[in-house]
Structure 1
């Protein structure tokens, strides 16, 4: 566990671009976003607005599946088609305009109805991070939901009605392991413990715990031993640094400068 190396010019430029969201979900959250591959079924006005909201912060890639052609109605309800696209594949037109929002994002499209794709290439959906479907009738939605449930890919089905909308989520389990409390006190004094804490530490026989349950140690004790080994060896008596800068009230330029330091 060594201290992170200084950020490269490329990384610092990305930090400047995504500064606000990095403060919200950190480097690891951004990395997870950039590794994502989202599938959108039907490039409706609602569908393209959803994609816009994840293209701007830097989703890794997206694929639009839509066998429809652009109509005059689309031009009135969808910002990501234009009158020159009428009669052309809606998936192609939406993909081109969405990609203009963020050069870091990759996008592709399939000019085919999802029903035909499920019949001819059912494994096409296996490797997506999530599938988002809009304006899909039940006879097409149910086979898609069954397929995605079998392969463990989350499904979001969205429909809008004027100013109201509904969202149905299909996912076996979704857990959140990291919270962002308003205030935290991370100082546990474990490098300079007070007498009571020192006595508690000395009452725990780490060696016996390791020998007793060496193959089934809980993650906490594995991490505790790793920290101890670091402090005693390459840490030179010092605890490891996490390498991230907490959120704070500051100007963006000063915050980014601190990150680079």
Structure 2
């Protein structure tokens, strides 16, 4: 279910393992730094503990998994209805917030006002998805985005399936299946690939990002529903987040 490196990886190793994904069925992910790494003997699969509760998603309890059927994709919640529901909640909160002037609110900037605009159309690719993923991983390692990361391999036909195998859920949110379905949709429309994880952060490479302001605004509607904190706390505003998506090969999501 999980292979975890004993030490910090390098970009060439990540690239080689990703190139072998088609034959190995194992998708490489960078796992952000955690002081608990030093307490784990090599090769030991740790269980959750009060000291390291965030380890839970990456280390499923094997005794609870034995005999259980694998995740069946037809049982996943559909991405768009879930996003539409989350969108309605966020827009309602935004409308009720006096901090934003009427012209700054989501309803003044989104394609159809407060109404859910539907899924954004696919974009034209800037490059091959695996090559963009390798570039993103190498850049994160070189710029020390993750502290002292480890390299994990999870079984899955795609990066979203590998994330499902990791049982990852953002922060304290246990409804990870809906997030997985959205990621699968982004893989298809925007060439997105899961590159790295932290307990509350998700990093994606994107080979087909929006190229126009109008398209970026539409995609931002999905980002707002998927991870509101990425729009409200990691950007200055809804419009600022949209502008940052134009041509960007990297999407980051952070849950408070």
Q: TM-score range by the shorter chain?
A: under 0.3
Structure scoring higher RCO (CA < 8 A, sep ≥ 6) equals 2
Larger radius of gyration: 1
